[in-house]
Amino acid sequence: MESQLKEQVNLGTALPLMEAFYTLQGEGYHKGSAAYFIRIGGCDVGCHWCDVKESWDAEKHPPTQIDQIVEEAQKYSDTIVITGGEPLMWNMQPLTTALQAVGMKIHIETSGAYPITGEWDWFCLSPKKNKLPTEDAVARANELKVIVYNKDDLRFAEAQSKKVSKDCILYLQPEWSKRDKVMPLMVDYVLANPKWKISLQTHKYLNIP
């Protein structure tokens, strides 16, 4: 990456864009709602079950100027979901400022493992055991979404739920490849602990991005 472009990425005026697409939000609180997704490359959290491992290496995704990202986003929706990868590895302030300047509502999906940059209308925190979220991310969360791969993830979820605000909405979501195995555990857990809700990856059932 040439030095000037690398500096722009460091500043957040360009970002390693993996893909962007218009679809329905498939998970969590806003499921079923139309949104334009911006997937930023780069992640070192390293979840073994990640279904977008191709996002991990930022060098594989071309640095894209944020004005180009915003111009394209305006064609589709006024709700933007920024995801990854791990978007908070980068400075999100320039992108969110530019999106808000044209009236966009901006959501983020993040592990919360990096310092928060940017301004967010909705903050979906999906914490991971191997790289825990920052205190600021926990305090900021509108939605806590814990992926359940095995029984111990229920313990982890409960521990994380004690850290977020009382207004944060709590979701357990089955890891897709283990859904048949863990779903009965999750159902029993939510029945016993009704502060939790179950989130499903409805976009996979609908066969949409």
CA distance 206 to 143: 23
CA distance 59 to 131: 22
CATH code for position 72:
3.20.20.70
Give the domain range for residue 139: 3-206
* pLDDT digits 0-9 by tens, 48-68: 889 899 999 999 999 999 999
* pLDDT digits 0-9 by tens, 87-115: 999 999 999 999 999 999 999 999 999 99
Number of domains in the chain: 1
Predicted local confidence at residue 5, as pLDDT: 84
CA distance 81 to 35: 7
How many whole angstroms from its chain centre is CA 110?
Answer: 4
Alpha helices in the chain (DSSP H): 3-11, 66-73, 93-101, 135-140, 152-161, 179-192, 202-206
Predicted local confidence at residue 64, as pLDDT: 97
Predicted local confidence at residue 45, as pLDDT: 93
Predicted local confidence at residue 48, as pLDDT: 86
Place of tokens 């005026």: 13
Contact between residue 127 and residue 112 where contact means Cβ atoms under 8 Å apart: yes
Please tell me the pTM assigned to this model.
0.95
Helices 152-161 and 179-192: crossing angle, nearest 10°? 40
Residues of the chain with pLDDT under 70: 1
